[in-house]
Amino acid sequence: MNSTDSPDITLTPWLALAPVLFLVALLACSVYLFGADSSYGANQIALVLSTVVAALVGLRAGLSWKSVQDGIVNGIAMGLWPSLILLAVGMLIGTWILAGTVPAMVYYGLEVLNPGIFYAASAAICAIVAISVGSSWTVAGTLGIGLMGIAGSFGLSPAVTAGAIVSGAYFGDKLSPMSDTTNLASAVTGVDLFEHIRHMLWTTVPGFAVALIIFALLGNSNATAPEEIIALQQSIATEFTIGLHLLLPLALMLLLVIKRVPAYPAIIASALAGAVFAVLFQPQAVTRLAGDTGDMGRFFVLLKGTWMSLFDGYTSRSGNQSLDALLSKGGMSSMLNTLWLIVCAMGLGGILERTGILRYLLQFALRGVHNTGTLVGTTVLTGISANLLTADQFIAIALPGRMYKDEYERRGLSRLNLSRTLEDSATLTSVLIPWNTCGAYMSATLGVATLNYAPYAFFNWLCPIIAVIYGFTGLAQKRAEAPAATPASG
């Protein structure tokens, strides 16, 4: 807290804990009343009301209303630039689906679904699709349901299949620049999105590699391929003209990432590339999306369809329910609920910081921190605890991110280490907790109890372990960059 903005205040333990306990109580009610749908409005209300309680604590402790208000506004301001990136991501998803880029990734990905290595192949295909769409929930709710049905026809374990689906979906979600959690983690820690994704490879790749090996060892070579895979591929080929050239927008995105182009222009450029590919290679899909165009000329029909994909995404009408649910998404409008949650979470984080509550909680949490290993371990435990207490992965990312970023810098560590550890803990363990919104959603969607599939979600619990090992060994702990020297005058 900056002393020039507000006077020093004294917090008692109960004053400091009041907003946190109030938030936990409201989130518990939210999950009980609304289940997996709680993140679509109910949790935002909990955040706003907890912000009010934190503001009252600040006023009670001696802050002026202007200082309280500035704290909230400054917290929200930190999320404005990432919010623009999220809107650009919505554009990207819409045009990549319309261009056939995402459908092509799904189509070719299904070909790796060799029944002899069904579990490993399921994790791999879910990972590929999750990277392309940026949503573990979407993959589980569409492709995951189909894979569970296929596993049933094979006579394979539902629990292991669900664990493979969850592992693959969260691998892709974690590394996708289109993922809301990935954007949130980079936002709250103030690091570049693509730098954040690159730094996560240190824990994500070995964690997923080990998981794939285990799934391969658990496979059943006696299974035969059912007709569901062929039917899904036929549905894709009916709605889109499929070819390897449709993966070029993805290649462009990867090239821009390698060239270290900032996230916003890279995503916009890739979205526009998708729009061009849609016009060139999927004119029939563009025309369908445009709908009733009256006597418009062909140019304006194509313009309307691509424009719609940018702001409202794509709507699939293939007749295959799983495919329609998977591909009916994207556009700026699809990001509005996430932006709503980010604004509420960042506002709460801002007032918690202004009142000194974050500093108070941080001092308590850091009592046992003596080195990098214990700092990373404490961050992991905080992310897991936040998932257990708040039942929401977004809050479990946002609040610890605000709490620990200064401590990482004070110890000479780049905040990229923090953003990666937040994802290794808060993002990945949310789905392992039955009462967390992610765990509740996956259980309801896949038809397997959370505690039944959790032991087989190898990737999700391997990454936190790897993160802690890295912390104690010093491996892949990026140091903070020294500030540039000020040139001497005269």
pLDDT number for residue 484:
43
Three-class secondary structure of residue 155 per DSSP: coil
The pLDDT score that the predictor gives to residue 425 is: 94
Angle in degrees, CA 378, 379, 381, rounded to 5:
65
Give the angle 162-426-21 at the CA atoms, nearest 5°. 120
| Calpha distance 286→288 (Å, rounded) | 5
CB atoms within 10 A of CB 9: 18
Residue 35: count of CB within 10 angstroms of its CB: 14
For the chain, the helix, strand and coil percentages under 3-state DSSP, each to the nearest 5:
80, 0, 20
* Cβ 39 vs Cβ 394: under 8 Å: yes
Say if residues 401 and 418 touch (Cβ distance below 8 Å): yes
Q: Which of 167, 174, 172 is nearest to 200 (CA)?
A: 174
Quick one: pLDDT at residue 480? Answer: 83
φ, ψ (nearest 5 deg) of residue 225:
-75, 125
Instruction: Please state the φ and ψ torsions of residue 358, each to the nearest 5 degrees.
Output: -60, -45
> Tell me, what's the pLDDT at 36?
65
Q: Measured between alpha carbons, how far is 341 from 333 in angstroms, rounded to an integer?
A: 14
Q: What is the pLDDT along the chain (490 residues), one digit of tens a residue?
A: 443 344 456 778 888 889 989 988 998 888 788 876 777 788 889 889 999 999 999 998 888 999 999 989 988 887 777 678 778 878 988 898 899 988 887 788 677 666 678 899 899 989 988 887 787 877 886 677 667 867 765 668 889 999 999 999 999 989 988 888 898 899 889 899 999 999 999 999 999 999 999 999 987 655 555 676 778 788 889 999 999 999 898 888 878 877 777 778 888 998 999 999 999 999 999 999 998 777 788 899 999 999 999 999 999 888 887 778 778 888 898 878 778 877 887 788 788 878 888 778 777 877 878 899 999 999 999 989 888 766 678 878 888 888 888 889 989 999 999 999 999 999 999 999 877 778 877 887 787 888 899 999 999 999 999 999 999 999 999 998 765 444 443 3
Give the model's pLDDT for residue 391. Answer: 63
Which neighbouring-strand residues pair with 413? 479
Provide the pLDDT for residue 253: 80
Helix 180-189 vs helix 80-99: angle between axes, to the nearest 10 degrees? 160
Sign of the Cα pseudo-torsion (119, 125, 128, 133, in order): negative
Which residues are CB-contacts of 64 (< 8 A; sequence separation ≥ 6)?
6
